[in-house]
Amino acid sequence: MHRTLWSLYPSPQQVAHAACQRILATAAAAIRERGHFRLVLAGGTTPEQCYRLLAQQSANWSRWHLYFGDERCLPTDHPERNSLMVATALTDQVAIPAAQVHSIPAERGAEEAAAAYSAQLAESLPFDLVLLGMGEDGHTASLFPGQHHPPETLAVAVHNAPKPPPDRVSLNYTTLARSHEILILVTGASKREALRRWRAGEPLPITALSTGGHVTTLVDQACW
């Protein structure tokens, strides 16, 4: 069982820069070896700066296929939608074909969207890189402590999420783990306690995701 490799940076800006470089390098290798780059994006606020940096780079965008680790059940134009954050920061700025940006139709409701996305994911595995964040309770994507999902389901409906909004869709543990690499970004003093619990081996959602192979976690000084 592999443990995550940790990289510590002085600031969130330097975490974002290092993540951007790592994504570009992983993309180039995946395209060279497999002809495509299947990237699962994290939501929330931590990765946004990295996405903005990516949008300033040049890459073989026509070979990139983007997926979402989770999505909130909100209208597509709601400011809290992960898909809107990604469009603003990245996909509206670069030439990734729209048909290769696979958003989760969470506006259709959690169950219907999870079923539709599961069908789409079945043709897209394994991923080349999965990006994840971590919440202050150790959740990742929309996999929350104490919430259990049937392991064979690729994308799951989430209700009563402790982080609003309550209804979400998330890729399941087993699905997120079906990737050549996983890159986890954690910054800020608010994550310090969850990081300590994770490193102590507590059974948090993030712990389950970080014990596979090829997992790297980039953290800043404030949460370390």
Measured between alpha carbons, how far is 178 from 158 in angstroms, rounded to an integer?
Answer: 20
Asked whether position 43 contacts ligand 6PG by CB under 6 A, the answer is yes
Closest to ligand 6PG by CB, 82 or 118: 82
Asked whether position 42 contacts ligand 6PG by CB under 6 A, the answer is yes
Among residues 44, 105, 138, 212, the one that binds ligand 6PG under rule CB under 6 A: 44
Q: Please, which of residues 104-133 interact with ligand 6PG by CB under 6 A?
A: 133
Among residues 16, 70, 91, 215, the one that binds ligand 6PG under rule CB under 6 A: 70
The verdict on whether omega for the bond into residue 165 sits within 30 degrees of 0, i.e. cis, is yes
Asked whether position 12 contacts ligand 6PG by CB under 6 A, the answer is no
Q: Please, which of residues 163-192 interact with ligand 6PG by CB under 6 A?
A: 163
Among residues 66, 104, 141, 158, the one that binds ligand 6PG under rule CB under 6 A: 141
Shortest separation between residue 209's beta carbon and ligand 6PG, angstroms = 11
Q: Count residues contacting ligand 6PG (CB under 6 A)? A: 17
Asked whether position 103 contacts ligand 6PG by CB under 6 A, the answer is no
Among residues 91, 140, 179, 210, the one that binds ligand 6PG under rule CB under 6 A: 140
Shortest separation between residue 116's beta carbon and ligand 6PG, angstroms = 18
Quick one: CA torsion of 191, 2, 215, 185, rounded to 10 degrees? 10
Shortest separation between residue 7's beta carbon and ligand 6PG, angstroms = 17
Note the residues at the interface with ligand 6PG (CB under 6 A). 42-46, 69-70, 72, 82, 133-135, 139-142, 163
